[in-house]
Amino acid sequence: MTTEDILRLRNLGEVNKVQFKERILDKYDIGCELVAMSNFRGGQLVIGINDKTGEFNPLSYAEVQETTNMLSNMASENVVPGILLDIDTATVEGGSVVIATIKEGNNKPYHDNKGIVWVKNGADKRKVFDNAELAEMMSECGSFAPDEAVVKDATLDDLDENTLKVFLQNRFATVLEKKGMIGDAMREASLDEVANAIAKGHNLNKLMRNLRFLRPDGSLTVAAMLLFGKYTQRWLPVMTAKCISFVGNRVGGNQFRDKVNDADMEGNLLHQFETIMSFFTRNLKNVQVEKEFNSLGRLEIPYTSLVEFVVNALVHRSLNWNAPIRIFIFDNRVEIHSPGILPNGLQVEDITNGTSMPRNNFLFNNAIYLLPYTGAGTGIQRALEDGLQVEFKNDERTHEFLITVMRKEDLDIDSDTLTLDLDTKEGCPNTDSDTFKSDSNTFKPNSDTKEGYPNTTPNTKDECPDTIRTKLSNKQKDIVNFCSVPRSSREILERVGVRYHNTNIKRYVTALVEAGYLEMTNPDNPNASNQKYRKK
């Protein structure tokens, strides 16, 4: 290190990665500094500068020799497990200073020779007693994988069959299709039969062991419960999200427009994702983006951007911190609070540049078969391409990663109304679909119909409107969000809670297809047994 380098370092003063000492007077204290930097992001310890005044107190040749030997000994004796130091000197007027560079450790947590774990806290250091923080250190260096930890007493009976089938169908699509395990055959098969179709001679238990969702002793992993659990929060109570839409711009406000109940959020990650997206779609405004009066609106914050932010929070959150994801909608902004800072030393500029370094590797590699993301590290970049005003904050003080998206106040907004351009015949709604009542804010079957069938009589005697403007009900919005992942008509009707019948298919599925909100995955064969519907 040159004299100019050490002057520049001195002029910046003590920070979390730089510490000054005039001399080594207390070996234990210096050892604690080495521990703290190893447990943090590394740093530099400079001997020969007064930490109070910043003035040089150069070391003589003999002091330099003695100091370097003492530092080497402390790195092996006062730091457990031992570390290696890169020791350098720089010449200043009157002598030299010694600079010890400490790398971030890859065997955390380190502790002193009394068994105390230290970590940097600004220019100072602090003791660590919280098991969650210790587990986070172990996770960062790969000695502990929280997503592969055991969920005590949980069994395969605590997993949701439908979610498991979606996962297996997406992961083993080619194999299952060759075996004819698609459509009705897939829905009616037991999980053991599906497992045997994937790998001959396997039942669900054996397949889940091979996929590492079951440990050798038969215990379920955290990843399995998060991905497939029926009542995930029974076993992992903090692995949930709190969603509140406030009146005003303060989190301390005592008025709110909407709040997701804890019971509604209870479930696996797929259920949580769908519930959160439904919360967004019913609380954010819709913008008229085209000149045509009846063109479809879009959310003021693009849906695709929200998907990226939500999936990142669900999949990359710290599993060690006992805190839920928090999602707040204010009048001027949206906040998404995810427990845990960015892992492995990542900084905000890294993720905005597309660097992908998952925190929960096993969960990340399997959630891709349930949640809509690519895993290529491009999600944040795609979200930023929408021109949003977004702020990312890696808050080490609160141990959370915060995404703040500003809402625009000058939008061309018509409440939260979407417009539908219905198929018409001579200016009237298509009578083969559900009847859309022009005097209602929601579309629904005419209450005068017999057995729920559409009424083909126009609303007016002489004429019908060319188009009908309508507002999606919460149930209809929920269906659209539910179909972010392709769904069969049976799955959609089960979601709504009605029996599987042609009338209900028309009411809850066909109507949204004709309105342009859903599309078929196999449009060339509308009556295909494996037909599914996805958000358009």
Return left, alpha or beta for 183; rule: phi > 0 is left, psi -120 to 50 is alpha, else beta: left
Longest dimension (CA), the chain: 107
The pLDDT value recorded for residue 497 is 81
Secondary structure string (H, E, C) spanning 252-307: CCCCEEEECCHHHHCCCHHHHHHHHHHHHHHHCCEECCCCCCCCCCEECCCHHHHH
The pLDDT value recorded for residue 376 is 57
Residue 374 per-residue DSSP state: -
Distance CA 536, CA 530 (A): 18
- Using the predicted structure, report yes or no on whether residue 426 has a pLDDT greater than 50: no
Copy the structure tokens of residue 102: 């400490």
The pLDDT value recorded for residue 377 is 58
Residues 319/146, Cβ–Cβ less than 8 Å: yes
Length of the chain counted residue by residue: 536
The pLDDT value recorded for residue 290 is 54
The pLDDT value recorded for residue 138 is 85
Cβ-based neighbours of 65, under 8 Å, separated by 6 or more: none
**Stretch among 111-115, 117-121, 239-243, 461-465 having the lowest mean pLDDT:** 461-465
Q: What is the residue-wise DSSP string for 106-118?
A: SSPPPB-TTS--E
Neighbours of 122 (CB within 10 A): 11
What is the separation, in whole angstroms, between the first and last Cα of the chain? 59
- Using the predicted structure, report yes or no on whether residue 457 has a pLDDT greater than 80: no
- Using the predicted structure, report yes or no on whether residue 410 has a pLDDT greater than 90: no
The pLDDT value recorded for residue 415 is 35
Of the pLDDT bands very low, low, confident and very high (cuts 50, 70, 90), residue 378 is low
pLDDT tens digits for range 511-534: 999 988 899 988 888 888 888 998
More confident residue, 386 or 223: 223
Neighbours of 519 (CB within 10 A): 15
More confident residue, 419 or 270: 270
Average pLDDT over residues 310-316: 93
Distance CA 355, CA 346 (A): 8
Residue spans per domain, the chain: 3-129, 155-218, 235-406, 419-535
* Three-class DSSP category at 37: helix
Q: Which residues of 243-259 are buried (b: 16+ CB within 10 A; e: fewer)?
A: bbbbeeeeeeeeeeeee
- Using the predicted structure, report yes or no on whether residue 8 has a pLDDT greater than 90: no
Residue 15 per-residue DSSP state: B
The pLDDT value recorded for residue 397 is 83
Neighbours of 174 (CB within 10 A): 8
Percent pLDDT > 90 in the chain is: 51
The pLDDT value recorded for residue 375 is 59
**Stretch among 134-143, 222-231, 462-471, 483-492 having the lowest mean pLDDT:** 462-471
Nearest to 468 by CA among 518, 516, 431, 429: 429
Of the pLDDT bands very low, low, confident and very high (cuts 50, 70, 90), residue 464 is very low
User: The domain 3-129 belongs to what CATH superfamily?
Assistant: Schlafen, AAA domain (3.30.950.30)
Distance CA 182, CA 168 (A): 11
Average pLDDT over residues 212-225: 93
Of the pLDDT bands very low, low, confident and very high (cuts 50, 70, 90), residue 486 is confident
Residue 212 corresponds to which amino acid?
R
Of the pLDDT bands very low, low, confident and very high (cuts 50, 70, 90), residue 374 is low
pLDDT tens digits for range 348-360: 888 777 777 788 9
CATH number attached to the domain at 235-406: 3.30.565.60
Percent pLDDT > 70 in the chain is: 85
Distance CA 174, CA 187 (A): 17
- Using the predicted structure, report yes or no on whether residue 502 has a pLDDT greater than 60: yes
Residues 47/23, Cβ–Cβ less than 8 Å: yes
How many Cα atoms sit within 13 Å of 77 on the Cβ side? 10
Distance CA 77, CA 70 (A): 10
- Do the two domains 3-129 and 235-406 of this chain adopt the same fold? no
Give residue for tokens 């310890």: 45
Copy the structure tokens of residue 421: 């351009």
Nearest to 279 by CA among 289, 265, 267: 265
The pLDDT value recorded for residue 403 is 94
Give me the chain's average pLDDT, please: 82
pLDDT tens digits for range 276-306: 999 999 899 887 555 544 445 678 898 888 9
Distance CA 132, CA 136 (A): 6
Neighbours of 108 (CB within 10 A): 23
Cα→Cα distances 53→12, 123, 165, 413, Å: 12, 15, 66, 59
Of the pLDDT bands very low, low, confident and very high (cuts 50, 70, 90), residue 438 is very low
Copy the structure tokens of residue 103: 């790398």
The pLDDT value recorded for residue 491 is 86
- Using the predicted structure, report yes or no on whether residue 443 has a pLDDT greater than 80: no
The pLDDT value recorded for residue 101 is 95
pLDDT tens digits for range 57-94: 999 999 999 999 999 999 999 999 999 999 999 999 99
Residue 410 per-residue DSSP state: S
* Three-class DSSP category at 220: strand
Q: Is the torsion defined by CA of 363, 366, 372, 374 positive or negative? A: positive
The pLDDT value recorded for residue 424 is 33
Distance CA 301, CA 228 (A): 29
More confident residue, 396 or 69: 69
Residues 109/39, Cβ–Cβ less than 8 Å: yes
The pLDDT value recorded for residue 496 is 82
Tell me the pairing of strands 325-329 and 241-246: parallel
Distance CA 6, CA 415 (A): 61
- Using the predicted structure, report yes or no on whether residue 414 has a pLDDT greater than 50: no
Average pLDDT over residues 462-475: 51
